[in-house]
Amino acid sequence: MVALARKTLVYEWRRFLPAILAVCFAGLLQLLQAALVLGIFGSASVYITGSSADLWAGYPGTQSVNLGRSIDAGVEMRLRMDPAVAAVEPFHWVDADWRGPNDTGGVSVFVSGINTRPDGMLFAQALPPALRARLNEPDAVIVDRADLDSLGVGIGDSAVINGHRVRVVGVSSGLRALGGVNVVASLATAATLDTDPSNANRMTYFVARLHDPGQARRVAVRLRGDRAFGNYDVWTAKSFARRSRLYWIFDTGAGAGVLFLAGIVFLVGAAITSQTLMAAVIGSVREYATLNALGVGVGALRRVVMEQAFWVGLLGLVGSAVLGAVAMAFARSRNVPVALGPWTTLACLSLCMGLAIVSGLAAMRSLHRADPATLLR
């Protein structure tokens, strides 16, 4: 079989280049905007993804980790009673007001009261044991290095949270959150900063480590809905992180923005690609008509056009994957939050292949001009 589609593509590459570039840049645009949105809003779940816990127990219906309400402290016992649970740890969340030594005004902060033992689950990745141990000092807090400026402090400086004096004993990275500045303290410090009297004997979350993390989903189902300890629910870390991210993506309208832009990119890309493919078909219309005169069916000619669309799509995809990888590496080197999972990548690239296929279908319609009778004059 003579590979007409491929040979034409190679020989007349200049003609197909606009279509390949259109697919390539459509793909790149999709990948980067998805990576940016997921990267920025991924920090909404930094409490969950930065911790090593398998299960999270919190107030029923909590839509995002920063919206937690306190649950009965007895839930800890309920979790410990389950044979699959290896360890349980409280997480005290306090919405607070920060006043630094410099003139930064009030800053809204989230205080995370965590277990300071070396094997603590919360912020296990961001806080190495030595740094974590410093939280044992009374009124010690740790913040992200990138937040020092907005808090108006340096290491060793003092500040006031909810009227209590605290001291910054260290900085780390990977603590940046969305919607406010994240301040990490010990459970004891956090308790002194929590001014809400109704939170006595209650805790925002309990997190648990399982003997077998693979059982997380089953154990979560088993643990939830036990009314003896008041209202609480149990989620796997993965589903709670996902729920927090989605809450932010859709609550802020960013999700709708992404979908809208994806639609625009698709339309613009399809317009350019289909026009280019159409021009290629019309450029060869006399040759196609000759083939049809010789008895080659219209279906076979359509396959040639679709094959060209496929190769254009594939080349465009390779281009956007390469450029996307370069752009992602550059963004990471500049601390721009980007995150891209395999499924999102696949979805973006499929959209581009869909764009090429739709363009091919549109270009196929130009084949009706390949009427062999018009060759006879």
Partner 1 sequence: MSQPLPSANASTSLQVRHVRKSFVSGQVRSTVLHDLTLDIRAGELTLISGPSGCGKSTLLAILSGLQRADDGQVIALGQDLGVLGARALERFRLRHTGFVFQGFNLFPALNALEQVELPLSYLGLAPAEARRRAMASLEEVGLGPRTSLRPSELSGGEKQRVAIARALAKQPDLLFADEPTSALDAANGQTIIDILHRIARTHGTTVLCVSHDPRLVGHADRVLAMEDGRILSDRVPPSPSTPATGFEETP
Residues in contact with partner 1 by CB under 8 A are: 1-2, 4, 7-8, 10-12, 284, 286-287, 289-298, 300, 372-373, 375-377
Closest CB 326 distance from partner 1, rounded Å? 32
DSSP string, 226-290: -GGG-S-EEEEHHHHHHHHHHHHHHHTTHHHHHHHHHHHHHHHHHHHHHHHHHHHHHHTHHHHHH
* 20 versus 187: smaller Cβ distance to partner 1: 20
Closest CB 374 distance from partner 1, rounded Å? 9
| Exposed / middle / buried, residue 201 (Cβ in 10 Å: 0-12, 13-18, 19+) | exposed
Closest CB 357 distance from partner 1, rounded Å? 22
Residues 256 and 241: their CA atoms lie apart, in Å, by 20
Q: Which residue has the tokens 């693979």?
A: 214
CA distances from 296 to 124, 161, 303 (A): 67, 80, 11
Closest CB 356 distance from partner 1, rounded Å? 20
* 65 versus 370: smaller Cβ distance to partner 1: 370
* 137 versus 371: smaller Cβ distance to partner 1: 371
Tally Cβ neighbours within 10 Å of residue 293. 14
Closest CB 220 distance from partner 1, rounded Å? 60
Residues 152 and 173: their CA atoms lie apart, in Å, by 17
* 8 versus 274: smaller Cβ distance to partner 1: 8
* 5 versus 241: smaller Cβ distance to partner 1: 5
Closest CB 288 distance from partner 1, rounded Å? 9
Check residue 112 and report its DSSP letter.
E
* 4 versus 216: smaller Cβ distance to partner 1: 4
